[in-house]
A = this chain, B = another copy of it.
């Protein structure tokens, strides 16, 4: 079986590759336009690759921006939950890790008799670089 990445297909590898080499989140149609040389011609091919990559946790979607970002954490367990710091100035994105968020949210949910399963968290503000510049 080996690592999930070993099993990626051509289209999936192509899409993951462009995301991993991007310094910022990309939109589906941006990905499409950037890789039309590599045989991917239709939106659906991009979306299907993204779906799979998200499913195995190699890519996360940033909901508020309709953008996609490659996960940098080897063996990231965020197949479902994601937590991001998003810079409003330069659009850079940092992923928060660690389970302390999950246990915190579980408790918050419990107070409302709600059974926690997963979450999306997007924190907006200024990254270190942009803080210094302003």
Contact = CB atoms under 8 A, between A and B. Distances in A.
A113 B64 CA distance: 22
Contact of A117 (B94, B104, B109, B124): B124
State which size class the interface on A falls in: 20 to 34
Contacts of A109: 85, 123, 125
B123 A94 contact: no
Interface string A117-134: 111111111111001000
B101 A123 contact: no
A117 B85 CA distance: 10
Contact of A113 (B63, B121, B124, B131): B131
B96 A112 contact: yes
